């Protein structure tokens, strides 16, 4: 049997226990990117601060998330993944408690930044731990499990926030993380494997590299987050930070290629499979997360639903995404990541057609069915690319790959969200201040043409990844086969990694 055809071994129970710990951490981190959105007016009133100041409760969290990601690779080599994950849980949980006790807008913003420092480390470090525990051949199924909260948590954040705001007060939007964080810390202490830290393996911290990478990522993230308020992607308040951020990231990459111990190993992108999978991750992040802002706004502005009912109406998409994630692991094992992502993208494209034609009185049954199919496409599309990226790397390279992939996915998502938000704002403005529900529905339908366009753009790199994977398998089949018994689990992927360099 060829390496490509070998069935994946059965995933051991301890890997699923590790996955459970990681998923809890990811849910907390990602959920808090949107859970506060519905509470801004209450926060403004209770803390006696203007809305443009309170907005930094959201922006500060997003920027601290972005700033801390680049250092995680070095920090894991220096302190160990398990220890750093525990520290991240403590910082995030303590920051959440302090946010719930905040007495002013300034204190709340400061505590949200602290919370973001912990939250920013949870996803990349959790991925490092999980990838190493699962092994390359088990990655598709395990990564599909961790993909569910990454995709769904931002969607259901406002609904959960609305429930807590209605029944318990804005403080519990933050305090809810405390018992969950304590549970996650307890489970992590018991279930996460201890990793050996090799003295001197991390080397000295590349401080200049950290400044360039962190400031560049923050600049891009901040600029894109300002696009909604600016109403244009070409506004100075958007282009200024974005271009400055791109310049700083470019300087970081150029410098990293020239020094001996850079903060992150950017030469990973010389591996064509990793590079193609990274581009797919970025493009699909933009296409998927950009579109996710539309249906909640449609239900609230066109159909007059509140946040809680909106969350209930979004359930079909969540169920579809869960089914898609489940199928994506098996499909990636059999077909490859490129084919699976391409299929997911095609499903997304077809399922977007009903939303292009959406009206003010469109049946909720039809909308729910279309959302379920879109959810399946989302589940099939988003995680296979990251699985492919990790599967062609050695265990040591994962520490550098995880933060880079996390940044690409989040920047791609921010870019897609900015584009869709600006387009929607332009369409609704054109409809007029006193637009009828029918006119507003038309604005959403027109915006979905852009969603379809972004999805089609994201399909192009999936075909490149598909071609690279097929070439790698052909080369792997032509090489002498390892023994069927006792062969290391990483052998097939090692052959594939060499084949695609």
Residues in Cβ contact with 292 at an 8 Å cutoff, skipping those fewer than 6 apart: 154, 155, 417
The answer to the question of residue 222 being in a domain is no
What is residue 50's DSSP assignment?
-
Q: Which of 147, 165, 192 is the last residue of a domain?
A: 192
pLDDT at 484 over 60: no
Report residue 330 as tokens.
């098996």
Q: Please check whether residue 232 lies inside any domain of the structure.
A: no
Whether residues 39 and 186 share a domain: the answer is: yes
User: Is 435 inside a domain boundary?
Assistant: yes
Specify whether 342 is located in the same domain as 443: yes
310 with 439, same domain: the answer is yes
Please say which residue of 192, 209, 244 terminates a domain.
192
Residues 333, 387: contact at Cβ < 8 Å?
Answer: no
Tens digits of residue pLDDT in 306-330:
777 887 888 888 788 888 888 888 8
The answer to whether residue 279 sits within a structural domain is: yes
> In this predicted structure, what is the pLDDT of residue 201?
67
- Looking at the predicted structure, is the pLDDT value of residue 357 above 60? yes
- The proportion of the chain whose per-residue pLDDT surpasses 70, expressed as a percent, equals 89
CA angle 480, 483, 488 (to 5 degrees): 105
Lowest mean pLDDT among 76-90, 204-218, 476-490: 476-490
Q: Which letter does DSSP use for residue 3 in this model?
A: G
pLDDT band at 5, cuts 50/70/90? very low
- CA distances from residue 275 to 144, 218, 398, 490, 500 in whole angstroms, order as listed: 20, 23, 14, 20, 11
Q: Is the pLDDT of residue 37 over 50?
A: yes
The answer to whether residues 291 and 177 belong to one domain is no
Q: Please indicate, yes or no, whether residues 151 and 271 belong to a single structural domain of this protein.
A: no
CATH of the domain at 413: 1.20.1250.20
Could you tell me if 452 and 317 lie in one domain? Answer: yes
* Residues 6 or more apart in contact with residue 87 via CB below 8 angstroms: 79, 118, 121
**Residue 273 shares a structural domain with residue 188:** no
Residues 185 and 271 in one domain: no
Distance, CA of 43 to CA of 49 (rounded, Å): 8
Count: domains in the chain? 2
**Does residue 174 sit within a domain?**
yes
Residue 261 has pLDDT above 70, yes or no: yes
Whether 95 is covered by a domain: the verdict is yes
Query: Do residues 308 and 181 both lie within one domain?
Result: no
Query: pLDDT tens digits, residue range 426-459?
Result: 888 777 666 788 888 888 889 899 888 888 888 8
In the listed set 162, 192, 222, which residue is the last one of a domain according to the structure? 192
Instruction: Pick the more confident residue, 365 or 123.
Output: 365
Measured in whole angstroms, how far is the alpha carbon of residue 332 from the centre of its chain?
Answer: 19
Tell me, yes or no, whether 485 lies in a domain: yes
Cα–Cα distance for residue pair 204/202, rounded to 1 Å: 7
Residue 467's nearest CA partner among 267, 280, 286, 326 is 280
496 has pLDDT over 50: no
Strongest mean pLDDT among 27-31, 255-259, 304-308: 255-259
pLDDT at site 1: 36
Residue 481's SS3 state is coil
State the average pLDDT over residues 24-47.
80
pTM of the model as a whole: 0.79
Render pLDDT for 125-135 as a digit per residue (tens, 0 to 9): 888 888 888 77
Nearest partner of 465 among 282, 273, 333, 329, judged by Cα: 273
> What mean pLDDT do residues 75-80 have?
86
Task: Please indicate, yes or no, whether residues 279 and 177 belong to a single structural domain of this protein.
Answer: no
Residue 149 within any structural domain of the chain: yes
Q: Tell me what pLDDT residue 86 has.
A: 94
Phi, psi for 352 (deg, rounded to 5): -80, -20
The per-residue pLDDT for 481 is 59
Q: Is the dihedral of CA 60, 61, 66, 72 positive or negative?
A: positive
pLDDT of 9 reads 58
CB 114 within 8 A of CB 88: no
Length of the chain counted residue by residue: 501
Look at residue 203 and tell me whether its pLDDT is greater than 60: yes
Residue 250 pLDDT grade (very low, low, confident, very high; cuts 50, 70, 90): very high
∠ at Cα 413 (336, 407), nearest 5°?
Answer: 80
Predicted local distance difference test score (pLDDT) of residue 247: 94
- Pair (177, 274) in one structural domain: no
| Domain shared by 295 and 437, yes or no | yes
Boundaries of domain holding 279: 266-501
Report the pLDDT averaged over residues 145-150: 71
pLDDT at 414: 82
């Amino acid at each position: 049997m060829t390496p490509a055809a070998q069935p994946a071994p059965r995933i051991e129970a301890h890997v699923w226990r590790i996955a459970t710990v990681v998923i809890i951490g990811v849910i907390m981190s990602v959920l808090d990117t949107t859970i506060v959105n519905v509470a801004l007016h209450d926060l403004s009133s209770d803390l006696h601060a203007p809305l443009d100041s309170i907005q930094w409760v959201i922006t500060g969290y997003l920027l601290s998330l972005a700033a801390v990601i680049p250092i995680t690779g070095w920090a894991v080599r220096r302190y160990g993944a398990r220890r750093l994950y525990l520290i991240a849980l403590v910082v995030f949980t303590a920051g959440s408690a302090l946010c719930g006790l905040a007495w002013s807008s300034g204190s709340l913003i400061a505590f949200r930044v602290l919370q973001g420092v912990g939250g920013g480390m949870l996803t990349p470090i959790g991925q490092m731990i999980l990838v190493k525990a699962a092994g390359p051949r088990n990655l598709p199924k395990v990564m599909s499990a961790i993909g569910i909260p990454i995709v769904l948590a931002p969607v259901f954040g406002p609904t959960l926030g609305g429930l807590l705001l209605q029944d318990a007060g804005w403080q519990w939007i933050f305090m809810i993380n405390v018992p969950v964080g304590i549970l996650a810390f307890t489970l992590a202490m018991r279930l996460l494997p201890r990793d050996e830290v090799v003295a001197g393996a991390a080397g000295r911290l590349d401080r200049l590299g950290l400044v360039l990478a962190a400031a560049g990522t923050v600049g891009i993230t901040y600029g894109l987050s300002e696009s909604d308020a600016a109403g244009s992607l070409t506004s100075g308040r958007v282009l200024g930070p974005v271009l400055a951020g791109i310049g700083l990231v470019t300087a970081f990459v150029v410098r990293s290629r020239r020094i001996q111990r850079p903060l992150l190993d950017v030469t990973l992108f010389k591996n064509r499979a990793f590079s193609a999978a990274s581009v797919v991750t970025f493009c699909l992040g933009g296409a998927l997360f950009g579109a996710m802002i539309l249906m909640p706004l449609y239900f609230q502005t066109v159909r007059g639903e509140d946040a809680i009912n909106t969350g209930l109406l979004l359930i079909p998409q969540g169920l579809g995404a869960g089914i898609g994630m489940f199928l994506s692991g098996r499909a990636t094992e059999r077909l490859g990541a490129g084919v699976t992502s391409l299929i997911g993208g095609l499903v997304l494209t077809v399922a977007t057609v009903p939303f292009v034609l959406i009206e003010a009185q469109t049946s909720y049954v039809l909308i729910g069915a279309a959302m379920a199919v879109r959810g399946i496409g989302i589940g099939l599309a988003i995680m296979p690319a990251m699985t492919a990226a990790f599967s062609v790397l050695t265990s040591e390279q994962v520490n550098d790959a995880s933060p880079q992939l996390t940044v690409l996915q989040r920047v791609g998502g921010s870019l897609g969200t900015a584009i869709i938000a600006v387009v929607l704002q332009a369409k609704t403005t054109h409809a007029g201040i006193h637009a009828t529900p029918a006119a507003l529905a038309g604005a959403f339908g027109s915006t979905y043409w852009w969603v379809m366009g972004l999805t089609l753009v994201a399909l192009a790199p999936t075909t490149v990844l598909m071609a690279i994977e097929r070439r790698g398998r052909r080369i792997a089949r032509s090489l002498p086969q390892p023994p069927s018994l006792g062969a290391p689990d990483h052998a097939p992927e090692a052959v594939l990694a060499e084949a695609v360099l």
